[in-house]
Amino acid sequence: MEDKLKDRFGFFIDDFKLRIGSYIIDPVNNHSSLIQETVRLKHPDDRFYHPIVERYKVDPFTKKPIEKIPNTKKPAHLYRMPHTHIIYSEGNQPLPENFRQKDGALIIHLLAMLYKSRAQFDGWLFDTPLPLKQDGIAVFNNSELEVVMNTVYGTFSTWKKDEQTRYINTLYLHSRSPAYRWEWEQFFMEYIITDSLWKLFKILKSVSSNVRHSERIKEMCNQLGIMYKQNEVDIIVTLRNDLFHEGLWDKVMPGCAPQTTDSLYAVFNLRRLNQRFFLALAGVNSSFIKSDWTYKDMFALYP
């Protein structure tokens, strides 16, 4: 098998150039025109949606489509996006054989989390609308982005394979979570992410397994230097218990109007809290980690 010297991924509007460990990331040569062409197709809600596809009858000899099948138009379940960046190793050394499952997966899904986007390697398919606002979870410049990426990558490299896989998978789920349009569905996924990060936290910090579920968020916050408000944590825990064990969302059937605004805010609060857990677990120590995750204001990643 021929060694691979470069890989490609997307989709990112920012034309960042980064050096992460021994890896170098550059935007593609036509990045500006590629972004302009894609943003032109952006929906008013700042998403790129699945293209519409339809089925055709195929000529049995030529295998070419010959006639449309009526009433088969629908949004494509999977679709491709062009790559926006190239990644390669210093000195043009071959990329590791497991690059897309390990280092590469960490890099693209961590970037997706930081930019509030989604990412896939060239040739891989997207299965949800693509966020095109990409305003980021915090305010940062290119050099600060490089610092946080290298910090996470350095910590990640010291973990065992199972711990690395858990972190990558959870990053992937986090970038995919906004595709759920109902608040209760997105909350359900975000709490799965919180539970997965708890398991990783418990392994890394050798935490006792008898910590009660209602105390886990506070335990993580205390040990990782993340602030919390008791009432906000209580709201999240109560919503989780009712949804997971009784199928209720803020005391009503999921999909019905909730009784309070607490449930709406809890979805966004839990998502912002998970973002801080991701970074703190991987050794990032910045003002953003300590910032109030119940505020909607943008915070700086570093002072």
Q: Contact at 8 Å (CB) between 224 and 283?
A: no
Please choose, from the candidates 233, 127, 217, the residue with its C-alpha nearest in 3D space to the C-alpha of residue 172.
127
State CA 156 to chain mean position distance. 17
Q: pLDDT digits over 25-70, tens only?
A: 999 999 999 999 999 999 999 999 999 999 999 988 888 888 899 9
pLDDT at residue number 1: 36
Residue 258 binned pLDDT confidence (cut-offs 50, 70, 90): confident
Identity of the amino acid at 213: H
Place of tokens 């790129």: 48
State CA 160 to chain mean position distance. 22
pTM over 0.75: yes
| Mean pLDDT for the stretch of residues 233-243 | 96
Residue 303 binned pLDDT confidence (cut-offs 50, 70, 90): confident
Inter-axis angle of helices 216-224 and 262-281, nearest 10 = 40
Place of tokens 């970074």: 279
Q: pLDDT digits over 266-296, tens only?
A: 999 999 999 999 999 999 999 999 999 999 8
What 8-state DSSP symbol labels residue 178? G
CB neighbours of 117 closer than 8 A, spacing ≥ 6?
11, 12, 13, 111, 130, 131, 134, 175
CA distance 71 to 52: 12
| Mean pLDDT for the stretch of residues 140-147 | 96
| Mean pLDDT for the stretch of residues 214-240 | 95
Cis? peptide before 11, omega within 30° of 0: yes
Task: Locate 82 and state its tokens.
Answer: 């062009």
| Residue 2 scores a pLDDT above 60 | no
Q: pLDDT digits over 73-130, tens only?
A: 999 999 999 999 999 999 889 999 999 999 999 999 999 999 999 999 999 999 999 9
Place of tokens 């199928």: 247
Q: Contact at 8 Å (CB) between 83 and 76?
A: no
CA distance 12 to 133: 10
Q: Contact at 8 Å (CB) between 88 and 99?
A: no
Q: Contact at 8 Å (CB) between 7 and 96?
A: no
Identity of the amino acid at 139: V
Q: In whole angstroms, how large is the CA radius of gyration of the chain?
A: 21
Task: Locate 229 and state its tokens.
Answer: 């408000």
Q: pLDDT digits over 178-208, tens only?
A: 999 899 999 999 999 999 999 999 999 988 7
CA distance 146 to 151: 9
pLDDT at residue number 3: 64
Identity of the amino acid at 301: L
